[in-house]
Chains A and B, each alone.
Chain A
Amino acid sequence: MNRTHVNCTVNGDDVDFLAADGISLLDALRDELGLTGSKEGCGTGDCGACSILIDGKLNCSCLVLAPEAEGAEIVTVEGIADGDHLHPLQQTFLEGAALQCGICTPGFLVAAKALLDTNPDPTETEIRYALAGNLCRCTGYDKIIRSVQEAAVQLREVAK
């Protein structure tokens, strides 16, 4: 399999890596860059556990070929905290017990961030639709939705 040298930024850092052309960006992030926060659930774009931002847009990294990342700005779950200071979404997920096994959590955090970045005051319905591409088999979703609502309130306070 051909290999491609890829230059991009990940969580604000310039990175480069050599990727086999057929591997997914998810595999490159995990195996070449050691960023194992993004998970592979289904590998077919149904579950959202591999959600990342590419140039600000929410994507399933399992459906992106690694060489497609050339020149892109990528944000993974590892990049959403501010140093040791958790992102409000991470804090409210912890406090609201919005996770059990945790496999889906990185994807939910990134998808929820994508939502709040563009819609700081979403309705519950808007949150549920925006997170429809993320599956959780533990929580029953309600705790996740409430934690996103709480994080939205906190982020709006900060923005004032």
Chain B
Amino acid sequence: MRYVAPTSVDEARSLLVDNPGSRVFAGATDLIPQIRAGRPQPSVMVDLKRIDRLTSVSHRDGGWAIGAATPTAALTANPEFATMFPGLSEASGLIGSDQIQNRSSWGGNVANASPAADSVPALVANDAQVVIASAGGTRTAAVDEIITGPGQTSLGDGEFIIEFTLADMAAGTSDAYLRIIPRTEMDIAVVGAGVRLTMDGPTVAAAKIVLGAVAPTAIRVGEAEAALVGNTLDEATLAEAAEAASAACNPINDKRGTIEYRRQVAGVLTKRCLLIAADRAQNGTA
């Protein structure tokens, strides 16, 4: 195994193309444990953190470009980012301990493609796009186009995520993310719910609801979104959205939760997230 730390996207792309069996990494918080657990050791480990673009955060012209290897701790500590995207910031801050936060990145969280990845529902709810280095240069895709199944992505050989782009949160719009785990800290989501709402006074003008850990990939719950738009968040509307969220789940049974539990909690978290996001959207915390 060889370690290389390229300083440009082109150099990293060439390393991947020239070395079959090579892997890119940022924090390696998933990759190193996977290798320890018996996955094949990469021929070359390509450290992306010495490429400026991969660790830079910029906000200009109504949007954000966030390097795919940026530590999540740097995002949650960025007041401008955390204020504009409170839910996405909270989701990012839930990935592991302080130790992990200084290494974990959106690029890794997305490329690792765990169904329980905390950043993913919040990224999808916020229409995050990714810029991908590929053989012909770069291409762009939505986050939910990247993840195709547990541990599976649509990234081709030699491709890697360079950065994420986000449009500024529009007026009257905000987000929220909640997850449930069996303990207070340091566990993997049993259910995660990411919501983004645009409010027109008390009425929902637009909604995105994305659930994690209840299906092979994060899922968008269009039925719940449809139940909300044009309505106020009264008990009946919230109940309808929660029911649609529960119905959309296709979860597994495991030691963290049963299928029945995950279904029920998905509805409860959806309802709670909607109320948080609506409050933020109406009271201008975004």
Residues of A that sit less than 8 Å from B by CB: 1-2, 4, 21-22, 24, 43-46, 48, 51, 54, 57-60, 62-65, 67-68, 70, 111, 114-115, 129-130, 132-134
Contacts and interface: CB of A to CB of B under 8 A. Distances in A.
A22 B1 contact: yes
A77 to B, nearest CB: 14
Contacts of B3: 2, 4, 21-22, 65, 67-68
A43 B32 CA distance: 9
A157 to B, nearest CB: 25
B2 A2 contact: yes
17 contacts: A1-B1, A1-B2, A22-B41, A22-B45, A43-B36, A45-B33, A46-B186, A58-B102, A59-B99, A60-B99, A60-B103, A63-B28, A63-B33, A63-B99, A130-B98, A132-B97, A132-B184
A117 to B, nearest CB: 12
A77 B103 CA distance: 20
B102 A133 contact: no
Contacts of A51: 99
Interface residues of B, number: 26
Contacts of A4: 3
Contacts of B10: none
A65 B47 contact: yes
Contacts of B36: 43-44
Contacts of A129: 185
A24 B100 CA distance: 15
Contacts of A63: 27-29, 32-33, 99-100, 103
Contacts of B222: none
Interface in B2-33: 2-3, 5, 27-29, 32-33
Given A67-B3, A70-B5, A133-B97, 17 more contacts: A1-B2, A4-B3, A21-B1, A22-B1, A43-B33, A43-B36, A45-B100, A51-B99, A58-B102, A60-B99, A60-B103, A68-B3, A68-B5, A68-B49, A114-B98, A129-B185, A133-B100
Nearest to A125: B184
A58 to B, nearest CB: 5
A14 to B, nearest CB: 20
Interface string B160-193: 0000000000000000000000001110000000
B2 A59 contact: no
Contacts of B33: 43-45, 63
A132 B96 CA distance: 9
Contacts of A44: 32-33, 36
